[in-house]
């Protein structure tokens, strides 16, 4: 268990972290969310020991993290941290040795991690010759080559095509299932909702929403209903329905906001008075809605 307790950091008059507190459990993918400038980068740098917080503590397995963080953490920065002209295997092996592995162990670990990220056939290629997606694979290989206990990724899906996103996401799920503690930041909320069991949302240096995504959705006071009609219709059928707001509508689609105690069967019966219903979806709020409510804008 990775525990972040009351982290504070100020840069002059700017408060970057203001008592940031949450936990990251093993075998879970945890999405770190927040608007630009919320404090996510400062938080990650504190976890990695690159920034010393003004207060608070980071604990791993119940004990404060010591100075040997490089062996415990794997880090994948948003900006590319690779040497463009180096060959892939040489580069991964170099970073393995920087992490403390002796030469022979570094070579063995390099072979294994390139196979794991699906990049064995790229070992003799130069990084500058690779596509963006394959460069992401090598960046992840560098983060994993020393077999870290905790993996911190900053916008790992940025710039990937849909196939690359699927492959990268599957790999992260496998890593978490094998016991690696995985925390990644992303602005792609639909992707976070698809992959992550837990989320942490930071705004102005404070945690404003944290926990298991399904529980957070169940705890909200409203639901969404989307109705699709076979033929053009109006929203007149919604008049008089209690605790319901029309959020969006065109001639065949209507999106409603319902309070949690509203009866969806009552809404469906009313919709059928207006025409043939092709689709009726009753859902909790999306992660994007939770995010917008949590940050208040």
User: How far apart are the C-alpha atoms of 112 and 77, rounded to whole Å?
Assistant: 22
User: How far apart are the C-alpha atoms of 7 and 55, rounded to whole Å?
Assistant: 6
CA angle 190/34/135 to nearest 5° reads 65
Tell me which residue of 152, 192, 156, 169 sits closest to 72, measured CA to CA. Answer: 152
pLDDT of residue 34: 94
Look up residue 74 and give its two tokens. 């794997």
Cα 112 to Cα 106, 121, 145, 146, 288: the distances in Å are 10, 12, 8, 11, 37
pLDDT at residue 159 is higher than 90: no
**Domain extent listing, the chain:** 2-214, 220-295
pTM of the model: 0.82
* Average pLDDT value over all residues in the chain: 90
pLDDT at residue 297 is higher than 70: no
Length of the chain, please? 297
- Neighbour order of strands in the sheet with 14-24: 14-24, 2-11, 55-60, 63-64
Q: At what angle do helices 162-177 and 132-144 cross, to 10 degrees?
A: 10
Look up residue 130 and give its two tokens. 């690779």
pLDDT at residue 90 is higher than 80: yes
User: How far apart are the C-alpha atoms of 133 and 127, rounded to whole Å?
Assistant: 11
SS3 179: coil
User: How far apart are the C-alpha atoms of 164 and 166, rounded to whole Å?
Assistant: 5
User: How far apart are the C-alpha atoms of 79 and 11, rounded to whole Å?
Assistant: 22
* Pairing state between β 198-203 and 181-185: unpaired
User: How far apart are the C-alpha atoms of 15 and 8, rounded to whole Å?
Assistant: 8
Q: What string of DSSP letters covers 21-50?
A: EEEE-TT-EEEEE--TTSSHHHHHHHHTTS
Express each pLDDT in 11-50 by its tens digit.
Answer: 998 999 999 999 998 888 999 999 998 999 999 999 988 8
Q: Which residue has the tokens 């920034």?
A: 51
**Which of 3.30.70, 3.90.1720, 3.40.50, 1.10.10 is the CATH number of 220-295?**
3.30.70
153-162 mean pLDDT:
86
Banded model confidence at residue 162, pLDDT cuts 50, 70, 90: confident
pLDDT of residue 115: 92
User: How far apart are the C-alpha atoms of 252 and 280, rounded to whole Å?
Assistant: 12
Q: Which residue has the tokens 């899906």?
A: 157
Domain over 2-214 is classified CATH 3.80.10.10: no
124-140 mean pLDDT:
90
User: How far apart are the C-alpha atoms of 34 and 201, rounded to whole Å?
Assistant: 5
């Amino acid at each position: 268990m990775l525990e972040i307790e009351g982290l504070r950091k100020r840069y002059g008059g700017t408060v970057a972290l203001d008592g940031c507190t949450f936990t990251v459990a093993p075998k879970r993918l945890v999405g770190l969310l927040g608007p630009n400038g919320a404090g996510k980068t400062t938080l990650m740098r504190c976890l990695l020991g690159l920034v010393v917080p003004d207060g608070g503590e980071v604990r791993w397995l119940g004990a404060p993290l010591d100075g040997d963080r490089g062996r415990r953490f794997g880090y994948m920065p948003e900006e590319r941290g690779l040497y463009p002209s180096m060959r892939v295997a040489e580069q991964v092996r170099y970073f393995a040795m920087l992490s403390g592995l002796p030469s022979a162990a570094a070579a063995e670990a390099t072979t294994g991690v390139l196979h794991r990220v699906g990049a064995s056939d790229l070992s003799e290629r130069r990084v500058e010759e690779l596509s963006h997606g394959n460069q992401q694979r090598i960046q992840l290989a560098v983060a994993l080559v020393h077999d870290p206990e905790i993996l911190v990724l900053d916008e790992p899906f940025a710039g990937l095509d849909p196939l690359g996103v699927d492959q990268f996401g599957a790999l992260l799920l496998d890593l978490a299932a094998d016991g690696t503690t995985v925390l990644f930041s992303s602005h792609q909320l639909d992707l976070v909702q698809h992959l992550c069991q837990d989320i942490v949302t930071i705004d102005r240096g404070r945690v404003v929403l944290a926990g298991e995504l399904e529980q957070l959705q169940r705890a909200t006071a409203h639901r969404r209903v989307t109705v699709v009609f076979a033929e053009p219709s109006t929203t007149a059928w919604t008049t008089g329905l209690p605790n319901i707001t029309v959020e969006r509508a065109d001639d065949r689609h209507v999106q409603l906001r319902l309070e949690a105690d509203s009866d969806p069967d009552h809404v469906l019966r009313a919709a059928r008075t207006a025409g043939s219903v092709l689709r009726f979806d009753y859902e909790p709020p999306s992660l994007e809605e939770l995010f917008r409510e949590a940050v208040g804008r």
